[in-house]
Amino acid sequence: MNRSRPDTLAEVGERAWLKRVRRLMAEDGAELPLGIGDDAAILPSAPGPLVVSTDALVEGVHFRFDWTTPRDLGHKALAVNLSDLAAMGARPLAAFLALSVPPQVRLADLTAFFLGLRAEGRKWGCPLAGGDMTRGPQWTLTVTVLGRLGVAGRKGRPAGPLRRDGARPGDWVYVTGWPGRSGAGREALRRGLSAAALARAHRRPVPRLREGAWLAALGCVDAALDLSDGLWDDAGKLAEASSVRLDLWRDALPVDPAVNRLARKLRRDPLDWVLFGGEDYELLLATRRRLDLARDWPAVEDLAPLSLIGRVAAGRGVRLLDAAGRPLPVRDRTWKHF
């Protein structure tokens, strides 16, 4: 171990560290009129409305370094915010980070975090344009992302935004990907079980930006949101915002085979994770026409699978129906923030 190199933030000091961050991230923000380092960043003028979202992750509440590496965290901090843009059908422009860390934090961990953030940003064309770094008793990171809506059709009308309050009775309910993978992955990590794909879904969720933009361009999506608290709870939010009821079909819910395997091993009901696991970052949506997946969801676009899982009805709340259309009793196991 080379003791002459500063090992912690307290040793190297804030200003020297910020210079390093600037060098690390500079290339990605090179197109911006003014990136990291001034009082504020300047983003170029662009047409159309702006889409903005902000989300915080708190150590010990949203993540633990026991099974999340600093690099994973960099990826995830940006990904969960990009997921909000995806849920509006927007494309990312730039990200901002407010980071609080204890002074004893190791520079290697900080660097790994920023490299994760940078890699995720490169994947989606979302450079870090500015931020703030302060001391705090634990890691707390707030990312704010800015995006723009795309255009749809030859007339160039704006695609989206996909709001959550537009669902109407009769709409078809779809979900992307595999809700439950992240929750099952968290459980596997907690128990030290090997389940690589599930663990990855938990540590490095993939924002459904391509899917969101595609859905917005389809022009038949009445409402959408991204799943952060779990399918059951978030379906309730969509229902409430739209003043409708969502009927979900139990047998139509997509369950990843790896989730099924873990459930069997732990003698759990896989639907516990699918409905209540949380942190899925899949998109839940209501469409006014039933999609023809072969035409509307082309494999060549490399989109996540899309599953028809229910229907919107007049009323309120969410119901889970069996194959005969009978409501099933549901005990809400959603994790409560407060």
- If we measure between CA atoms, which residue out of 129, 123, 105, 83 comes closest to residue 282? 83
* Cβ burial, residue 43 (10 Å; 0-12/13-18/19+): middle
Q: Which amino acid belongs to residue 69?
A: T
Residue 96 or residue 249: which is nearer to its own copies going by CB?
96
Give the tokens for residue 211: 């899917």
Q: With CB under 8 A as the contact rule, which of the stretches 133-141, 247-255, 287-295, 304-312 interacts with its own copies?
A: 133-141
* 132 near its own copies, judged by CB under 8 A: yes
The pair phi, psi for residue 265, each rounded to 5°, is -60, -40
> Is residue 37 a contact residue for its own copies (CB under 8 A)?
yes
> Phi and psi (nearest 5°) for 192?
70, 25
DSSP string, 70-84: HHHHHHHHHHHHHHH
CA distance 60 to 39: 31
97 binds its own copies (CB under 8 A): yes
Cβ 180 vs Cβ 255: under 8 Å: yes
The answer to whether residue 226 forms part of the interface with its own copies (CB under 8 A) is yes
Q: Does 48 bind its own copies (CB under 8 A)?
A: yes
Which region, judged by CB under 8 A, interacts with its own copies, from 96-104, 200-208, 243-251, 312-320? 96-104
287 binds its own copies (CB under 8 A): no
What is the helix (H) or strand (E) element at residue 189, kind and residue range?
A: helix 181-190
Among 23, 65, 138, 264, binds its own copies (CB under 8 A): 138
185 to 224: interface string for its own copies, x by CB under 8 A: ----------------------------------------
Residue 298 is a binding residue for its own copies (CB under 8 A): no
**Rounded Cα distance, 313 and 336, in Å:** 27
At position 284, the amino acid (one-letter code) is L
Interaction between residue 257 and its own copies (CB under 8 A): no
- If the CB atoms of residues 229 and 272 are measured against its own copies, the closer one turns out to be 229
| Residue among 185 and 207 whose Cβ is closer to its own copies | 207
Q: For binding to its own copies (CB under 8 A), which residues are involved?
A: 9-10, 13-14, 17, 33-34, 37-45, 47-58, 60-62, 84-85, 87-88, 90, 94, 96-100, 103, 129-138, 140, 142, 144, 146-147, 161, 163-165, 225-226, 241, 336-338
